[in-house]
Amino acid sequence: MEASDKSKWVQIGNRWIPRTALKDGMSTNGPLDETPLYRPGLLKEIDFSEAQAKFKGSISPSNPGENLVMRPLCAADYDKGFMEVLKQLTKCGDTPREKFLARYNQMKSCPNTYFVTVIEDISKSKIIATGTVVLEQKFIRGCAERSRIEDLVVDDEYRGLQLGKLMFQTLLLLSQHLGVYKCSLECLPENIAFYENLDFKVDPQSFMQYRFKELS
């Protein structure tokens, strides 16, 4: 690609997308947009009294703890350490602002699919937990929908405060609220007990995969 073309395109993995994909008035240098990735009312509509998990105290999505707020991801969370939290879950590679914004906008342009949720410590303007529901539309079972819970992580300074359980339970109830017939997740063997305590069952069907690349 010519140097002059590079000013018009942004590379995402192996693909190049038009720089115009960085839309909604977002600048890659200036303050980032605080528009939520999905409708925040969805979190308020969840009936948390239906939670199967037991919580100590009155913790809930609308009250995760002192100075803590649970809400949908927004682009501005990049500058609040969103990627640093994800790095505590797995390898995240190099994710400069531009690349993050392009991916964020791609997700935002798929309505009713990506429900990336965060908890912010507003006293520090810091993202301290995240988890995602991804909705998959099917033709089977009468064009039903299923969900997956992905990328659940709590910042290590905030672990043991029931936030992982709160995030998981919220995402599960969100899945139910969205009308899916089932929700699944993948996890490391050392985390099976965490999910079993929250009523998830290890499925006897084997999970199989083929890795095309080892990404850093």
Ligand X SMILES: CC(C)(COP(=O)(O)OP(=O)(O)OC[C@H]1O[C@@H](n2cnc3c(N)ncnc32)[C@H](O)[C@@H]1OP(=O)(O)O)[C@@H](O)C(=O)NCCC(=O)NCCS
Rank residues 110 and 202 by Cβ distance to ligand X and give the closer one: 202
CB neighbour list of residue 206: distance below 8 Å, 6 or more residues apart? none
Dihedral of alpha carbons 188, 191, 197, 198, sign? negative
Give the one residue of 5, 47, 157, 190 binding ligand X; rule: CB under 6 A: 190
Rank residues 101 and 149 by Cβ distance to ligand X and give the closer one: 149
Report the distance separating Cα 6 and Cα 11, nearest Å.
9
Our finding on whether 144 is near ligand X (CB under 6 A) is: no
Report the distance separating Cα 138 and Cα 177, nearest Å.
17
Which residue is nearest to ligand X, using beta carbons? 164
Query: In the range 197-216, which residues lie near ligand X by CB under 6 A?
Result: 197
Our finding on whether 162 is near ligand X (CB under 6 A) is: yes
Q: From residue 98, give the alpha-carbon distance in Å to each of 12, 38, 114.
A: 9, 20, 19
Give the one residue of 193, 199, 202, 215 binding ligand X; rule: CB under 6 A: 193
| Segment lying near ligand X (by CB under 6 A), choices 11-19, 41-49, 119-127, 191-199 | 191-199
Report the nearest approach of ligand X to the CB of residue 24 (Å). 30
Our finding on whether 73 is near ligand X (CB under 6 A) is: no
> Reading across the β-sheet that carries 145-154, which strands appear in turn?
68-72, 114-121, 126-137, 145-154, 182-184
Give the footprint of ligand X on this chain (CB under 6 A).
Answer: 88-89, 152-154, 159-165, 187, 190-191, 193-194, 197
